[in-house]
Amino acid sequence: MGVSTARPEKGIAAITVDFPPVNALPVQGWYDLADALRAAGRDREIRCVVLAAEGRGFNAGVDIKELQRDTGHQALLGANRGCYEAFAAVYECETPVVAAVNGFCLGGGIGLVGNADAIVASDDAVFGLPELDRGALGAATHLARLVPQHLMRALYFTSRTVSARELHAHGSVWQVVPREGLADAALELAREIARKDGSLLRLAKAAINGIDPVDVRRSYRFEQGFTYEAGLSGVGDRVRDAFGKERQQ
């Protein structure tokens, strides 16, 4: 359980997240993921990183139970800072990052894949930001990198999900494959990328980030200010507790 790194082939690092039962990451998990991504990016032998997950889904966001156990605001602050670091680590990884998405990709998962360089998804994958149902805000910055502006807003305000095939139609998912073929498909794309010159790939990643029209770090940090406000005002806890009670019924 946790975050692990392997080298399935020369030039490729595979970072796998495994936090049963649904890959809702605790505060330390986000920091561990950020550290793994940055370490892989610094390794001059690595030319591409595959980010994947074990279990039922790719990512269910923040561990809400950890937030509910905290009588103060330290867990909320930790989760926000941890997410900020993990999302940035994907974006700023010195080599391209391919996200291999299975099952659900929700909340913080959108922050990860929205900052990835390419996405391969299983045909059962769904993507969404149920933040308003869970007493939180954030990651609209990253959802806006996956779908057009008005669709992003509708998905955000309704907490609905969108399928991998729909995202493929929008051009944000590279390939949709049967679940059993996801690992091979992601590795195949990573292998093609890793054939390029490593130094040139790093220059290309820096150049592409440099021409991005949106500063994802600043944009997401702006969103987080409203997450803090929701937490401090008590509305976040109220909605989160109601969500927890609904799940228990």
Residue 13 resides in a domain: yes
* Beta strands, E only, 10-125: 12-18, 48-53, 97-101, 104-106, 118-122
Residue 16 is part of which domain span? Answer: 2-181+204-248
CATH number at residue 209: 3.90.226.10
pTM: 0.94
In the chain, the amino acid numbered 247 is: R
Contact 61, 27 (CB under 8 A): no
**Residue 56 belongs to some domain of the structure:** yes
pLDDT above 70 covers what percent of the chain? 97
Domain count, the chain: 1
pLDDT of the residue at 244: 62
Q: Is 104 inside any structural domain?
A: yes
Average pLDDT rounded to a whole number, residues 2-31: 97
Whether 119 contacts 165, CB under 8 Å: no
**What's the rounded Cα separation, in Å, for the pair 218 and 168?**
27
Say what the pLDDT of residue 70 is: 73
Q: What is the pLDDT of residues 130-173, one digit of tens each?
A: 999 988 899 999 999 999 999 999 999 999 999 999 999 999 99
